[in-house]
A and B are shown apart, each in its own frame.
Chain A
Amino acid sequence: MTNTAKNYLIQENKVQAPEIQTVEDKISNTLEFIYYDAKKETSRYLEDTKVEAGGE
């Protein structure tokens, strides 16, 4: 998650700034960040992480 995305979420009042969070808030807000970020990614991310053949 980029700082721009985080600032956007804070500005939009979707989450609270880190310094005023409780533990529950922290979990909830981090999950919100992750959800927001994952929504931006597409199947291209899965394609980009394709290995084709594992080594080992």
Chain B
Amino acid sequence: MKKRIVGLETEYAIRYSSLISEKQDNRVLYDLIIKIIPSFVKIADGTSILKWKQIFLENGSAFCYESLPHHIDSGLLEAATPECTSTLELILYQRSIDKLLQQTLEKLNQNQSRLFSKSTISLIKNCKDAYNNIYGAQENYSGVIAKGAFLFLYRLFLIFYLPLLAVYIFFVFIASFFILFFQSVLMIFFYIFYLIYITWFRERNHKFNNYEVFFYPNHKSFFYQFERLSGIVLTFTEIILSFPLIVPYVFILKYFTFRDYKKHLLAFIVTRILFTGSGSINNRGEFYLSEKAMFTKRISRTSNFPADRCIYDPGNLMKLTYLSVLSFFRFEFHYLKELFNNVQRFQIGMSDSCMCQVSELLKVGPLYILMDMIDEGFLKETPQIRFPIKTLKTINQYPNFRTFKIEIKNYKKLKLPSSLTALEIQFWYLNQAKEYLKQKTILDPEYHLIVKEWEQTLNLLKEEPEKLFGKIDWITKRILINQTLMKEKNLKSNNVLDIDGITKEDYIKHYELLKVIDIKYHDLYEGYYYELEKANLTKRFFSEQEIEYAIKNPPKSSELAKIRSSIIKRMQQSYENIKISWNYVKIGSGAISKIIQLEDFKKRRIDT
């Protein structure tokens, strides 16, 4: 197998704070942000049907607007790093995206139009708001989807499933047409009714003397409420209609794909929240290590409900299948070809958005090494947790990870005690990785750096967790919260990095203040993590110059990103209608459009 490709997707919540105006439509705010980006880097429009308002940047990364149909105005900015084959490089590109967005926000907030004067627009890189809405990050690793009989059965299932999906999509289009037609008729009816109403009765009723209540896109407007209601109807119609079709597919995806990774990585992923969690408090005075783990319900997705939060999310494969059929209707077959590839994206849904670079490196680095070990047959037997989700929930609540014993099903085979703490499981994986590097005489310095950081972090978590301030997000956040409480209560602290000593009652009493710290820690504009960074209190792997370089240039380890970047850079002189995607470019539109795979560009040596 070629070197593994890895990528991160991060959803940023959009913040709009104003003293004079109400909450704005996030689509408008997203557009304002995107309009500023070409003043820093070159961009090109994306082709994707499922990603709304997608753009690609000259370093190979992409931005889009992500929302649900019934909350279309309160969506998020989603950023995807270019594909990398080095985890250190991946962290650099994630940092470059954060940096570019920071620069964009600074410029945007300095030069605001009259409409948004006395207001601040920002982005929050976290996974949960103060009202328990979940979004955030996802990790993608290329891996072998299945082998032998499982691969054969998976492909056989697809052959029978795709025609059924095509029929379903055809009927959904017809149903959607009638729903939209019905909506349009209703809109016209209400519009005429309202015009008559305001013309004849306006003087009698001063409550409705303002046209803006009806037309202006705010939360009180009729159009806004109508759009939301239509979204709810469409979403639930789609979910109910597709349910019989989705259930067998998620079953196949769950039991036939990425079986080895899912089995051998589960104990690692459940316990890695010890260093990847970004920390969160709730109004019951409880502190959690990971935001995503709080709402994770199962190991694998079992439906297409947005709230079906899981550790392994095959949503990308579901989207690819859907796209294959949609493109088939347009006589485009590249997605169909991609669907039958042996190597696919293995997607981890339970992934916190990290601010600390050490947390982020340990989120992807050890997993990358462990996947190599699985592919090479080095990890044949790993600890199997008896109740994974229950265990995840328990160790996620501070300070259970220190003492909670996790039951291991196959402890006899592994010659281990029948139960281990989360830290002991991590040490088990670490020792296996060290043995792997030794036996295979792997000299790649990146692998050694990852293992060294992993070992240092585990040792500190065991002995002196407070020394991970500025390196691990949940520890950094917990110390900020505790110190704030000490100041609030006018208590003198002997140890500025005290991680304990605060009661639940204190948390509850000062919840609002502490929650501000919890959220503002992740703010890209004047956020608290960046205060720590400015004061040199965080560990960094990259200089500012390296990050600035990565904003404008593709990763050295990715051929596809290099080709994509080269096309975007040259597009500025071209008059052709060109749209970009992760794997191909589309030249022209409609019947005369032409699709060229990025791989083909490489073969034809078009790239300079």
Which A positions have Cβ atoms within 8 angstroms of B?
Answer: 1-2, 18, 24, 26-35, 37-39, 41-46, 48-56
Task: For the complex of A and B, list the 5 residue pairs with the smallest distance between their C-beta atoms, beginning with the closest.
Answer: A54-B135, A55-B66, A53-B71, A46-B130, A52-B74
Name the A residues within 8 Å of B264 (CB-CB).
Answer: none
Question: Are the CB atoms of B74 and A53 closer together than 8 Å?
Answer: yes
Which of A33, A43, A53, A55 interacts with B531 by CB under 8 Å? A33
Shortest distance in angstroms between A43's beta carbon and chain B's nearest beta carbon?
Answer: 6
Tell me the B272-318 residues at the A interface (CB within 8 Å).
306, 315
Q: Is the CB of B535 within 8 A of A18?
A: yes
Interface of B is mostly: mixed
Known: A38-B520, A55-B135. A48 touches B16 (CB 8 A): yes
List the B side residues contacting A49 at CB < 8 Å. Answer: 13, 15, 124, 129-130, 519
Number of interface residues of B (CB under 8 A): 49
Partner of A56, one of B130, B135, B535: B135
Interface locus among B199-207, B430-438, B480-488, B595-603: B480-488
Partner of B133, one of A1, A48, A54: A54
Chain B residues with Cβ below 8 Å from A28 are 496
Q: Within the assembled complex, what's the spacing in Å between the Cα atoms of A24 and B70? A: 49
B70 proximity list for chain A (CB < 8 A): 53
From B361-369, B509-517, B585-593, give the one contacting chain A. Answer: B509-517
Interface of A is mostly: helix
B11 is an interface residue with CB less than 8 A from chain A: yes
Assembled-state Cα–Cα distance A20/B279 (Å): 32
Q: What is the CB-to-nearest-CB distance from A48 to chain B, in angstroms, rounded to a whole number?
A: 4
Find out whether the CB atom of A46 lies under 8 angstroms from the CB atom of B519: yes
**Contact status of A52 and B15, CB under 8 A, knowing A2-B526, A28-B496, A41-B516:** no
The verdict on B131 contacting chain A, using a C-beta distance below 8 Å, is yes
Chain B nearest Cβ from A49, distance in angstroms: 5
Is B520 touching A53 in the complex (CB atoms < 8 A)? no
Residues of B close to A24: CB separation below 8 A: 496
Q: Does B169 contact A (CB under 8 A)?
A: no
Could you show 11 A-B contacts with beta carbons less than 8 Å apart?
A27-B496, A30-B532, A31-B483, A46-B130, A46-B131, A50-B130, A51-B133, A53-B68, A53-B74, A54-B136, A55-B68
Q: Which of A31, A38, A48 contacts B17 (CB 8 A)?
A: A48
**Given A27-B537, A56-B136: A38 and B517 within 8 A (CB)?**
yes
Query: Which residues of A lie under 8 Å from residue B517 when comparing CB positions?
Result: 34, 38
Nearest-CB distance from A46 to chain B (Å)? 4
Known contacts A50-B129, A51-B76: A1-B13 contact under CB 8 Å: no
Q: Is B419 an interface residue (CB 8 A)?
A: no
Specify which chain A residues have a CB less than 8 angstroms from the CB of B133 in the assembled complex: 50-54
